[in-house]
A = this chain, B = another copy of it.
Amino acid sequence: MKLKGLGEDALLAALLRGVPGARDVVRGPGDDCAVIGNPRGKTWRLLKTDCVIEGVHFRAGENPAKIGWKALARPVSDIAAMGGRPLHALITLAISPEAELKRALGIYAGLRKCAAKYGIAIVGGETARSPGPMFLSVMLAGEVERHGCVFRSGGKPGDRLFVTGRLGGSLAGRHLSFEPRVEEGRWLARQFHIHAMMDLSDGLAADLPRMARASGCGFRIEEGALPLHARCTVKQGLSDGEDYELLFALAPRDAERLRILWPRKFPGLALTGIGELTGDAAAAARGRKNGSLHGYDHFA
């Protein structure tokens, strides 16, 4: 059986079946980050690894600084989605020996720019020879207050669903220059009882069913309400992916308060109610199959 056609979620589920757990693992595979710590500790550690590959996540001729930015900003976005803050990064760069030093330095300029903006220390690096495309992998460690840690799995039927920013059309350039919503994620997790949160990397159509499934819920979205980037269709907003906006769920009562406070705190960033979680968990599974909802999948 080939990986092609299996789907990323099914592949990961097969690979991770029966991997050993251990003490201090609050959350293993399946959320935006792994969460490590004493279940009753004041703070928990977050671990995330993420890679970008030439020809998949960026084009060969792309501006190296933008590649570096993207490589680090992606896992930062995952830490933001837990309500956490990023702290320490290690970089693995596999690159052709025929590449110019200038190119490697450019990539690190982008990594450094992102690290400086989000207060991250780059504490290690490895370089290796790649006989094929360039491969850039980032290991990111962060932390989160236990009471401010938000999983994908806490959503409840009736919860209102929100997304930050606008969706769709990321390939026009935003996928290389987006700003992870760290401050927004931390503010949300502190000020509200956010039941579930994740970042939108594969598109709402792929990611929302994941959050609903993790929460044992279904969902209903109002396609007309989706906050789209200029000149994007609903289909693009659902399926393009690489939005790196936050998707989250909270109780209707909190939603009202949020609608009032958000524009005061983040006047430059849209926040949009797009629907709700429902009690019909089977809908999440159906959503994957009805053709109208599908996001990016490496192995679809």
Hey, which bits of chain A sit against chain B, CB under 8 A?
A: 1-4, 6, 8, 11-12, 14-16, 18-22, 24-25, 27-29, 33-34, 36, 45, 47-51, 53-57, 87-88, 90-102, 104-105, 108, 111-112, 115-116, 119-133, 135, 137, 139, 141, 298-299
A298 touches B88 (CB 8 A): no
A24 touches B87 (CB 8 A): yes
A225 and B229 alpha carbons, distance in the complex (Å): 69
B11 touches A122 (CB 8 A): no
Query: Closest Cβ of chain B: how far from A123's Cβ, in Å?
Result: 4
- Residues in B with CB closer than 8 Å to A33 are 124
Query: Closest Cβ of chain B: how far from A242's Cβ, in Å?
Result: 13
B92 touches A29 (CB 8 A): no
A17 and B22 alpha carbons, distance in the complex (Å): 37
List the 5 shortest-distance A-B pairs measured between CB atoms, nearest first.
A132-B132, A22-B121, A4-B97, A34-B123, A139-B139
- Residues in B with CB closer than 8 Å to A129 are 53, 56, 298-299
A34 touches B127 (CB 8 A): no
- Residues in B with CB closer than 8 Å to A139 are 47, 49, 90, 139
- Residues in B with CB closer than 8 Å to A36 are 87-88, 123, 141
B3 touches A112 (CB 8 A): no
Partner of A128, one of B56, B87, B90, B111: B56
- Given the interface pairs A94-B135, A101-B3, A104-B11, the reply to whether A88 lies near B22 with Cβ below 8 Å is yes
- Considering residues A51, A102, A105, which has the most beta carbons from chain B within 10 angstroms of its beta carbon? A51
Other than the given A36-B87, A129-B298, A135-B135, 5 more pairs (CB < 8 A) read A15-B105, A24-B88, A53-B130, A92-B137, A97-B298
